[in-house]
A and B are shown apart, each in its own frame.
Chain A
Amino acid sequence: MLTALLTAVFKRTFLRTVTDDRRKIQEKEEWMLKIRENLSAVIFAVCVFCCLHVLPAQAKEIVVGFTGPLSGPISEYGQDISNGIDMAVRELNDKGGITVKGEKYSFRLIKLDDRMNMTTAVTNVQQMREQKAVAMFCGSAPAAFAMMNVNQEKGKEFLVLLYSSTKITWDNKLTISISGPLECHAHEYTDWAIDHGYRKLGIILNPDVYGKEWTDTVRKLWEKKGGVVTAVKPVNYYREVDFSSQITAVLSTNPDILLIGGPSGTTALMIEQIRNMGFKGGFMIVDQVRLENLKKMLKGTQLIGNAVIGAPMTCNTMPPMITHVKKYKDWYHRDPNWESILNYMAMHALAKAIKAAGTAENIYAIRDASAKAYPTTADKYPIEVWGISEYGRHLIAPTFVTLKNGTEEPAYGVYWWLKDKKEFDAMQKASRYPLKFKMVPLVKQ
């Protein structure tokens, strides 16, 4: 009975009698033709529109630009940076802009999406130049290089504000790195690991330039401090999700500590997979990873065990930081993080530098006046910036947090630009952070 029913249904749906549906085909063709004619007109109109539409530039305003991933798989990163800049711009404009040599200026931010694609980034740089941007923000070294290609052209100069901890290898007067150097992290991580008795290091990082820089820097320090590197396995944190074969290979060399990290999400997965394979040692987690995201993904810190990682910026509990966090949440409906706040600070610093330089056009003068925008102390600003190094990097002390058996220990900061104990003492006196501080050997960055 059931079979008969099924067969009937089958026959009705999947079989048919061969009929002459020529008329149907003809009707369809006529319909297609009609649509094609209309479509041609639309396409023509769009082409004309594309060619005519040109943006006019405006006067009496200072333009800053940002190019980064605002759509696509890592758009959160670009969004955080652009929100940070946007927040500073809005705050400045709410106060009525700035006055330079008696003239009032307001700020305007151009945000352009490059989907992490170089070709688009280069075009975006052109677009921002056309609108006379005095400074361009970016969150990745390749985009910064595209800017450095053209930022010293006479009469069309602009500042490049790069958010990246990568080593400064370029010689570009108009580029400023606005985050702490990777080398400082490497120093602190290796110190912590050696102090806690770890000696055998396995490295599982991304096979990109950032991952390689981390690998090389840590490896050098690690071997200098008496440890051995048992295995180095690059893993693509962006494209892959199953790390089991690489983890198996690394764990077979019996390391007692692992250096890992990429985007926070996949790093959480990596930690879970490593612990599931029975690894009992510690972790050093690179500065790209956010502890707050790891906690969310791993439902707490229990699985992380022993580790050292960059601290969330909210380890600073001073009032300016608390107001900043609240305001940011109100405006953008999400939590601020290091990406947003360091770019926020850089934007405010830029405004101060323009004011100090007394010009909104002479970019070299603005760059020279940049040092006058500092220091910003924690009793007045959310983040302490102490100046600019001679290589063009903001003097920001990275903060760290260590975990012991899954429990967070108090966060602390590390100075990397001080030469001796005396400078350290002076610095500690000047700082208003409610944190303990350490010092690593001078990092030339």
Chain B
Amino acid sequence: MTVLLQQIFNGLMLGSTYAIVALGLTLVYGILHVPNFAHGHLYMLGAYLCFTLMTVCALPFWPAVILSALALAVIGIVIERLAFRPLNGGAEINSLLAAIGVMMILENGVIALWSPEGQRIPNPYPGMIDFQGIILSQQRLLVIVSALVLIVLLQMFIKKTLLGSTIEAVAQDREGAALVGINVNRVSALTFGIAAALASVAACLVSPIFIISPDMGSALGMKAFVIVILGGLGSIPGAIAGGLLLGMIEALGGGYLSAAYKDVYAFGAMVVILAVKPMGLFGREVSER
């Protein structure tokens, strides 16, 4: 029983990081219809910025997290402006190519600037809590709690503020939003910035537990995409549910079944779910673009 609970805790932590990253991705897809495979690489870049701020500039953990989120927001906006906006209105597959280009630049750029070796970020909360045989590390608890806070904040931002509503409006109907006078391009840039910042925060939160390396983004980017599709493109509750589901499948599948084939379970489950529900769990039928 303790083992099961421990595995659920592990899955919860994995799932909440996935959820934050997928949230940003689903926002971007909803607004721009850009299959941004480079999203995981923004996550990686965020971790590296945090690492540099903490080790070279000797900043404490939280200021480093906030600064790298801000920096990533700027980088996200720049990428949107230079790589994706010129392709707006063209075929979606062309944006995918641009995303592949961004991926190559980010991953190899980080290798050139830092080093290909893995790095550690000093853990700000190394303590352990033994809760009836389940080992809960403080940093892991922090990841779960922060994810929860972020999700609630984002939801409030989108539903309760004027700016948030414009994002929703553009996501629902780009042309219509433009007609009522919303500057669609600015809103797109803003969304991209928010998504990049979210990815960065997720990266900063987990990197003290893990190791950061230039290729940490590619696998996560792929998983985030699977989650977004699983939940239904553009659906925020879908991204959260999908993230938690994938985290659980991975933790339980890796723990109880074969660890080597863990990805087969995770991805196989996705295929089956999508075959049964072709528009994802929370997706709505949308007209072909």
| A→B interface (CB under 8 Å) | 7, 10, 13-18, 71-76, 207, 233-236, 239-242, 244-246, 248-249, 252, 263, 265-266, 268-269, 276-278, 297
Complex-state Cα separation, A235 to B258, whole angstroms: 10
Complex-state Cα separation, A361 to B75, whole angstroms: 56
Q: Which 8 residue pairs across A and B have the least CB separation, nearest first?
A: A265-B118, A241-B210, A207-B260, A234-B260, A245-B255, A245-B251, A249-B255, A244-B10
Name the contact of A14 in the complex, choosing from B135, B137, B187, B259 (C-beta under 8 A): B187
- Contact of A7 with B162 in the complex, beta carbons under 8 Å: yes
If the complex has contacts A76-B115, A266-B118, are A241 and B254 also in contact, measured as CB distance less than 8 A?
A: no
Across-interface contacts of B187 in A (CB, < 8 A): 14
Across-interface contacts of B93 in A (CB, < 8 A): none
- Contact of B181 with A15 in the complex, beta carbons under 8 Å: yes
- Contact of A75 with B211 in the complex, beta carbons under 8 Å: no
Nearest B residue (CB) for A206: B260
Contact with A along B196-211 (1 / 0, CB 8 A): 0000000000000111
Complex-state Cα separation, A370 to B162, whole angstroms: 78
Question: How far apart are B19's CB and chain A's nearest CB, in angstroms?
Answer: 15
Complex-state Cα separation, A92 to B189, whole angstroms: 58
Asked whether any CB of chain A lies closer than 8 Å to the CB of B3, the reply is yes
Complex-state Cα separation, A76 to B183, whole angstroms: 48
What is the size category of the interface that chain B forms with chain A? 35 or more
Across-interface contacts of A265 in B (CB, < 8 A): 117-120, 211, 213
Complex-state Cα separation, A18 to B178, whole angstroms: 8
Nearest A residue (CB) for B207: A241
Across-interface contacts of A263 in B (CB, < 8 A): 118
If the complex has contacts A239-B219, A266-B118, A276-B128, are A14 and B183 also in contact, measured as CB distance less than 8 A?
A: yes
- Contact of B179 with A245 in the complex, beta carbons under 8 Å: no
Contact with A along B239-264 (1 / 0, CB 8 A): 00000000000111011101110000
- Contact of B116 with A73 in the complex, beta carbons under 8 Å: yes
- Contact of B10 with A245 in the complex, beta carbons under 8 Å: yes
Nearest A residue (CB) for B178: A18
Nearest A residue (CB) for B187: A14
List which B163-218 residues lie within 8 A (CB) of chain A: 163, 166, 178-179, 181-183, 186-187, 190, 209-211, 213-216
Across-interface contacts of B3 in A (CB, < 8 A): 248-249, 252
Nearest A residue (CB) for B185: A16
If the complex has contacts A242-B209, A245-B255, are A18 and B179 also in contact, measured as CB distance less than 8 A?
A: yes
Across-interface contacts of A244 in B (CB, < 8 A): 6, 10, 13, 251
Across-interface contacts of B260 in A (CB, < 8 A): 207, 234, 236
Across-interface contacts of A277 in B (CB, < 8 A): 135
Nearest B residue (CB) for A273: B209
Across-interface contacts of B10 in A (CB, < 8 A): 242, 244-245, 248
| B→A interface (CB under 8 Å) | 3, 6-7, 10-11, 13-14, 108, 111, 115-120, 128, 130, 135, 137, 162-163, 166, 178-179, 181-183, 186-187, 190, 209-211, 213-216, 219, 250-252, 254-256, 258-260
Total inter-chain residue pairs, C-beta < 8 Å? 109
Name the contact of B163 in the complex, choosing from A14, A71, A240 (C-beta under 8 A): A14
Across-interface contacts of B214 in A (CB, < 8 A): 73
Nearest A residue (CB) for B210: A241
If the complex has contacts A75-B116, A76-B116, A248-B6, are A18 and B181 also in contact, measured as CB distance less than 8 A?
A: yes
Across-interface contacts of B255 in A (CB, < 8 A): 245-246, 248-249
Across-interface contacts of A268 in B (CB, < 8 A): 120, 211
Nearest B residue (CB) for A17: B181
- Contact of A269 with B181 in the complex, beta carbons under 8 Å: no
With a 10 A CB-CB cut-off, give which of B128, B258, B260 has the most chain A CB atoms.
B260
Complex-state Cα separation, A60 to B186, whole angstroms: 65
If the complex has contacts A74-B116, A242-B209, A248-B10, are A13 and B186 also in contact, measured as CB distance less than 8 A?
A: yes
Question: How far apart are A89's CB and chain B's nearest CB, in angstroms?
Answer: 24
Across-interface contacts of A71 in B (CB, < 8 A): 108, 111, 116
- Contact of B11 with A245 in the complex, beta carbons under 8 Å: yes
Across-interface contacts of B130 in A (CB, < 8 A): 278
- Contact of A242 with B14 in the complex, beta carbons under 8 Å: yes
- Contact of A276 with B135 in the complex, beta carbons under 8 Å: yes
Complex-state Cα separation, A242 to B254, whole angstroms: 11
Question: How far apart are B51's CB and chain A's nearest CB, in angstroms?
Answer: 13
Complex-state Cα separation, A268 to B119, whole angstroms: 11
- 8 CB-based A-B contacts, threshold 8 Å: A10-B162, A240-B219, A241-B211, A242-B14, A245-B252, A248-B6, A265-B117, A265-B119
Question: How far apart are A305's CB and chain B's nearest CB, in angstroms?
Answer: 16
- Contact of A16 with B181 in the complex, beta carbons under 8 Å: yes
Given contacts A14-B163, A16-B182, A236-B260, 16 further A-B contacts (CB under 8 A): A15-B182, A18-B181, A71-B108, A73-B215, A75-B116, A239-B219, A244-B10, A244-B251, A245-B251, A245-B252, A245-B254, A248-B7, A249-B3, A266-B118, A268-B120, A276-B137
- Contact of A245 with B7 in the complex, beta carbons under 8 Å: yes
Complex-state Cα separation, A206 to B120, whole angstroms: 21
Across-interface contacts of A10 in B (CB, < 8 A): 162-163
Question: How far apart are A295's CB and chain B's nearest CB, in angstroms?
Answer: 13
Question: How far apart are B206's CB and chain A's nearest CB, in angstroms?
Answer: 8
Complex-state Cα separation, A276 to B179, whole angstroms: 57
Complex-state Cα separation, A278 to B137, whole angstroms: 11
